[in-house]
Amino acid sequence: MHCAEAPADRTFFASQNHTPMSYCSSVNLLGPKTVLVHMVHLDSSDIATLAETGTHVVHCPSSNSKLASGICKVPALLAAGVNVSLGTDGAPCNNTCDMLQEMRLAGILHKVATMDPTAVPAETVMECATIKGAQALGLAEKVGSLEVGKKADFVVLDMRAVHLQPWHNPVSAVVYACTGRDVEMVVVDGKTVVEKGVLVTMDEEAIWKEAAWRSKEVVARAGLTEKVAARWPTT
C-alpha cells in the first residue's frame, strides 16, 4: 500500500499523535509480509521501526519527483537494513513504466540529495530493481537473481549501440545509460516474451492502439480533454 507519500500524509499522522510508522504499528500493519510504497516523509524512529519489523519499502523516484512529493531517505533506509526495492508507480504520475529509466534516477537522485557521489551506487540500484524486489514479494527463492534452481527470468540488453559507448563497468552502464529501448530479449520462467525488441506473446500494435483511444475516452468522460492538452499549438 502507499504510505507517507506526500506532506499531507504526515499532517494526518500528526493529527493522530503519531508518526507514519507508529500509526501503522498501532493498527498491526507492519511486518515482513507488508510492502509500503513511496515512504518519503519519515523520521529516524520510523526508519528504525521498519528495520525492526522487517517491513519492505518500494522507492518510486520518478513519481515522487514529478508530483513534487519529496525525496525518500533511501541511503538511511539501506544503512538501517531496510529492504528497499524499486518501482515506477503508475503511468499517470510517471509517464513511463521503464524500470531502466527508474534505475538511473534512483542512482543519481540520492547523490545530489546527500551531496555524496558515492551514495546508492549502481550495484545497489541493480539489487533494488531485482533481488530486493523479489524479497519484498516473498519470491527471492524463485526469482530475482541468476542462480541454479531459480526460474529462468532475465533481460538481455544490446550493449553494442552507439549511445552506450564507451563503457567499462557493465552494471554502471546498464544503470546510468540504458533504457527500455535497449532491451533485446526478455525471458520469463524460460519462455521468451520479447525477441529482437518486440513483444511476441501479444499483438503489440493492437494493444497500444486500443490504449490510445481508450485513454482519450476516459479523459473525455472526465471532462479533462482541454486540461491535459498541450499548452502549445501542435496542429
Name the residue range of residue 211's domain.
202-235
Q: For residues 192-203, give the mean pLDDT.
A: 96
Q: Which of 110, 126, 151 is the last residue of a domain?
A: 151
Same domain, yes or no: 64 and 147: yes
- pLDDT tens per residue across span 148-193: 999 999 999 999 999 999 999 999 999 999 999 999 999 999 999 9
Indicate whether 137 belongs to any domain.
yes
- pLDDT tens per residue across span 140-157: 999 999 999 999 999 999
Same domain, yes or no: 23 and 122: yes
Q: Which of 135, 151, 167 is the last residue of a domain?
A: 151
Strands (E), the chain: 2-3, 35-38, 56-59, 84-86, 154-157, 183-188, 191-195, 198-199
Domain count, the chain: 2
Contact status, residue 88 vs residue 94, Cβ threshold 8 Å: yes
Query: In sequence order, what DSSP letters do the residues of 4-34 get, joined into one string?
Result: S-SHHHHHHHHHTT--HHHHHHHTT--STT-
Is the alpha carbon torsion for 171, 173, 175, 178 positive or negative? negative
**Res. 91: pLDDT tops 90:** no
Please classify residue 125 by burial: count the beta carbons closer than 10 Å to its beta carbon, then call 0-12 exposed, 13-18 middle and 19+ buried: buried
Same domain, yes or no: 127 and 20: yes
